[in-house]
Amino acid sequence: MSLADYLAKNYLTADSKIEKKSKKRKRKDAPQSGLIIADDDALGWAAKPADGHDDDAPINVSATSAEFRKTKKNNWQAIGTPAPSSADQAAADAIIASAAAETSARDAANEEAPTVDDTGRKMESGAHAGLQTADQVTAQLKRKQAEERKRFLADGAEHSGQGKETIYRDASGRIINVAMKRAEARKKAEEEAAKAAAEIEAQKGDVQRAERERKKEALKDAKYMPVARYEDDREMNEEMKERERWNDPAAQFLSKKRAGRSVTGKPLYTGTFTPNRYGIRPGHRWDGVDRGNGFEKEYFAARNRRRDLKELDYAWQMDE
């Protein structure tokens, strides 16, 4: 069954079939075909059709299925701007769809939100006094929070306190001066450091202090001394001669005797005494009694014995 027969059977009244023309003839010579629509509001006193059909009669279509198949040209005409491409059309559709979704969501939220009456008395929390539903109270609280945040952002950093120094208070509520407290803490730390240094200094003896002062003076004098010092340097030779050694065999030949006073200026003991590891002479009030535990004596005896054995071993090796 052809398309024209199908349309005539179910919807329309088909015209008489047109003979098919040869394909060799030009398409412009073909009789024009299309839809024939009878205007119900036609002007004039037209005579009614003889067959007795009224205005509700079906519309006649004078076309064949073959002509529909032959037509391969698009008969649509673009009016105005050209149609957008597929990608642009898809992007535009997506934008329109998102805007529509936002609008519908906003409308739904506004419809679902409870109605709030602002004519009543408000409490400090922002909610109205009186009997209300939970949704109404929640909506009022959220609206007050939004208003406060908007006002907070509008005021800026001047009213928000951002960037300002923190104010500290004590237990009684009085303001604490941070700069003064920091100065007091700094002063306390300095006092503690000075106290610790004084304790360390008190643990040292008079000889250590005098030696430190002597080194300071030597450093000051070293700025004016030459870089190289030779054996004919008088100051260096005098310094070496003044240095006392308990086991120096030539000490008795020195013409210049050192005064019997210590580094601190106190008098020293002029008699004989047992030597010690540090070379410290006893004071002038010593009675000559050794009240030690004998460690110094054992120390020197062990050191001398080790040195003697080393020299004896070397002598035996040379004899062999």
pLDDT score, position 89: 79
Render the burial of 283-319: b for 16+ CB within 10 Å, e for the rest. Answer: eeeeeeeeeeeeeeeeeeeeeeeeeeeeeeeeeeeee
Mean pLDDT rounded to a whole number for the chain: 76
Query: Positive or negative, the Cα torsion across 170, 175, 178, 182?
Result: negative
**Separation CA 151–CA 143 (nearest Å):** 12
CA 79 to chain centre: 59
For 275, the token pair is 């030597």
**Predicted confidence band of residue 301 (pLDDT cuts 50, 70, 90):** very high
pLDDT tens, residue by residue, 210-249? 888 888 998 888 888 878 888 888 888 888 877 777 778 8
Q: Which of 50-64, 86-100, 244-258, 298-312 has the lowest mean pLDDT?
A: 50-64
Looking at residue 247, the DSSP 8-state letter turns out to be: T
Which value, in Å, is the radius of gyration of the alpha carbons in the chain? 61
pLDDT score, position 228: 82
**Separation CA 57–CA 112 (nearest Å):** 52
pLDDT score, position 112: 57
pLDDT tens, residue by residue, 240-252? 877 777 778 877 7
**Separation CA 85–CA 15 (nearest Å):** 41
| 3-state SS class at 124 | coil
pLDDT tens, residue by residue, 260-279? 677 777 888 888 888 888 87
For residues 155 and 36, the model is more confident at: 155
CB 218 within 8 A of CB 236: no
The DSSP line for 255-299 is SSPPPSB-TTS-BB--S-----TT-PPPBTT--S---S-SHHHHH
Longest dimension (CA), the chain: 173
